[in-house]
């Protein structure tokens, strides 16, 4: 396993609680849209065993052409040790990334795509949308729906509807509106539904989509195959 040590290049205050850390791209490091990585703080591998409290899974919210690895996260006042340390890091601080993989690349299968997210889950979708807006080949259209009860919505420069490019972006701040919109999307029996958020959010969305007749193979999750199968009640042995 290769561990890439790199430096924080810029810190963007996205909202009052959400920050994006832009990291220098280490030589030889590349990734595709929808990727997540292991984001680790100094000292995580100092002992015999890696210190897990200094490591978190994080999506990469940028694309390689932006020349920076974006890590977007919410840091509440009351937070974990990991986020307390992260909050105090400055430009120039060293961090590590390793084991980078995309469970949710943009599927170019001539279908309509629905991106369902909650809060900073939108960070996972930012690169998919950029990729699509730069090159729409074999994607019919993309519709994004994000729920954030803080009402401080993220990436509103990119998540803005562009009818010419068949891209719509909606933000809602309550579950009722959210579920109404998802039901409308689910009427598309051939669409692809990407869901990113907490496990609870993912489970509720799966239930809702399945009730509306959406099939498991239409649902994309940022999970490994085994976990995705469990959540979607798919039997992998068949
Ligand atoms: C594939 C994948 C991709 C991911 N991508 C991202 C991403 O892009 N961005 C992202 O932010 N997360 C992402 N996550 C989730 C991430 O790994 C963390 O689990 C998440 O950010 C929570 O971080 P934390 O555990 O440091 O807790 P925190 O966010 O600090 O806290 C979690 C909750 O616990 C409460 N809490 C924490 N500590 C205390 C305390 N001492 N006292 C009282 N309450 C407390 C907080 O109030 C909060 O409600 C991803 C996860 C996976 C699996």
Q: What is the mean pLDDT of each run of 10 residues along the chain (238 residues)?
A: 97 98 96 98 95 98 98 98 98 98 98 98 98 98 97 98 98 98 97 97 96 96 94 80
Distance CA 4, CA 16 (A): 30
- Percentages helix, strand, coil for the chain, rounded to the nearest 5? 30, 30, 40
Q: How high is the pLDDT of residue 236?
A: 73
Distance CA 5, CA 162 (A): 38
pLDDT confidence of residue 234: 81
- Mutating to test ligand 1, I would choose from 14, 31, 59, 62 the residue with most ligand atoms within 8 A of its C-beta, which is 59
- Phi-psi map region of 151: left, alpha, beta (phi>0 left; psi -120 to 50 alpha): left
Atom of ligand 1 nearest to the CA of 61: 8
**Pocket residues: Cβ below 6 A from ligand 1:** 36, 56-59, 72-74, 76, 78-80, 82-83, 120, 123, 222
Beta bridge partners of 90: none
- Return the best residue to mutate from 38, 73, 82, 86 for the ligand 1 pocket (most ligand atoms within 8 A of CB): 73
Structural element, H or E, at residue 196: strand 192-196
For the stretch 54-89, what's the b/e string if a residue is b when 16 or more beta carbons lie within 10 angstroms of its beta carbon? bbbebbbbbbeeeebbbbbbbeeeeeeebbebbeee
218 to 34, 67, 103, 168, 221: CA distances (angstroms): 17, 32, 14, 20, 10
What separation in Å is there between the alpha carbon of 60 and the centre of ligand 1? 15
At 238 the pLDDT is 60
Q: Rounded to a whole number, what is the distance in angstroms from the first to the last CA of the chain?
A: 32
pLDDT (0 to 100) of residue 235 = 74
């Amino acid at each position: 396993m290769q561990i890439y040590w790199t430096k924080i290049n810029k810190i963007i205050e996205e909202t009052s609680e959400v920050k994006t850390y832009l990291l220098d791209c280490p030589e030889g490091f590349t990734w595709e849209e929808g990727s997540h990585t292991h984001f680790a703080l100094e000292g995580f591998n100092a002992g015999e065993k890696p210190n897990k409290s200094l490591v978190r899974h994080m999506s990469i919210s940028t694309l390689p052409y932006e020349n920076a690895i974006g890590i977007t996260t919410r840091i509440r006042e009351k937070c974990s040790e990991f986020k307390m340390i992260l909050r105090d890091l400055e430009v120039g601080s060293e961090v590590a990334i390793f084991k980078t993989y995309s469970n949710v690349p943009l599927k170019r299968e001539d279908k309509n795509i629905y991106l369902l997210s909650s809060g900073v889950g939108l960070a996972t979708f930012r690169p998919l949308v950029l990729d699509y807006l730069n090159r729409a080949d074999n994607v019919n259209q993309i519709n994004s729906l994000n729920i954030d009860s803080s009402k401080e919505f993220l990436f509103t420069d990119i998540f803005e509807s562009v009818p010419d490019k068949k891209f719509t972006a909606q933000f809602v701040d309550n579950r009722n509106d959210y579920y109404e919109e998802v039901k409308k999307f689910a009427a598309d029996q051939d669409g692809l539904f990407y869901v990113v958020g907490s496990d609870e959010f993912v489970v509720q969305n799966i239930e809702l989509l399945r009730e509306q007749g959406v099939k498991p193979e239409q649902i994309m999750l940022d999970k490994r195959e085994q976990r995705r199968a469990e959540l979607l009640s798919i039997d992998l042995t068949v």
